[in-house]
Amino acid sequence: MLTIKNLNKTYPNGTQALHNVTLTLEKGMFGLLGPNGAGKSSLMRTIATLQLADSGTIEFNGIDVFKQPEELRKVLGYLPQDFGVYPKVSAEMMLDHIAKVKGITNKSERKGYVADLLNKVNLYKFRNRNLGDYSGGMRQRFGIAQALLGNPKLIIVDEPTAGLDPLERNRFHNLLSELGENAVVILSTHIVDDVTNLCQNMAVFNEGQILMQGNPQDLSDRLNDKVFRKRIEKTELEAVENKFTVLSNYLRGGEFYVNVYSDANPGEGFELVNNDLEDFYFYCINKKEEQEAVL
């Protein structure tokens, strides 16, 4: 179990990255959903012992993360949003080295373990290629393999599907789903579908704080019969925004649409739509001051 209580962090430039963050996470997949710049990476780095908080506590299975960082690192797998690689080293050699550092000393056991990891992330046939020659998506998959070394009990993945094509994204979803059976897995992302597909528990996170937490479907259901859609011209968007609570605008089949929140049908050509987690997410991000009406 991971327990976070009253976590606060303000950087020297005055930016408050974390504001009274409190979470309790059991084994399984947890989605931290928020826009870029919301503070998600600050929270991930703090949990991963890469920075200290100004106040608050983090405990994982009896480990005080701030007082016993080395103990947490023994059971931690972490894929940051941005990470470097040694360009002149092959994926197999690098994973072999990391596995040795992680305590897998038997050479034949280590070789089989590394091969299994490379197969899981679909890199085995590229195992002898230097990391500097990998594409962006291949580097991301290597980072995933690196995070899984040592069978960690706490796995943190920060924007893990960035740069992956749809096939690889599905492969990674399946892998993460398996991992969630035996570990606490935190998926930090701005991609709503990643959370919808993988997580039974999630939080909407913005401006360093948790806006809402719960089961994705339960949260989505809170906007049932309150989301309406209309096709408009792009030039009409400002007028619609001034009159209605606009959740999102988007193109579909080359035509421009808006989704709005309303307690009753607003008329004027709007039609009720089957809302989803994306609508709830936009509602939380754009209309925090109105949440009490829904919650």
Q: What is the pLDDT along the chain (295 residues), one digit of tens a residue?
A: 999 999 999 999 999 999 999 999 999 999 999 998 899 999 999 999 999 999 999 999 999 999 999 999 999 999 887 777 788 999 999 999 988 888 888 898 999 999 999 998 889 999 999 999 998 778 888 888 888 888 899 999 988 877 678 887 887 788 888 887 889 999 999 889 889 989 999 999 999 999 999 999 999 999 999 999 999 999 999 999 999 999 999 999 999 999 999 999 999 999 999 999 999 999 998 864 444 444 4
Residue 293 has what pLDDT? 43
CA atoms within 13 A on the CB side of 57: 10
Q: Give Cα separations from 260 to 206, 225, 240 (angstroms).
A: 21, 11, 9
* DSSP per-residue codes, 212-267: EEE-HHHHHHTTTT-EEEEE--GGGHHHHHHHSEEEEEEEETTEEEEEEE-SS---
| Interstrand relation of 227-231 and 201-206 (parallel, antiparallel or unpaired) | unpaired
Reported as type and span, the H/E element at residue 170 is helix 166-179
Residue 142: which of 129, 169, 123, 163 has the closest Cα?
123
Scored b (16 or more CB within 10 A) or e, 13-32 reads eeeebbeebebebeebbbbb
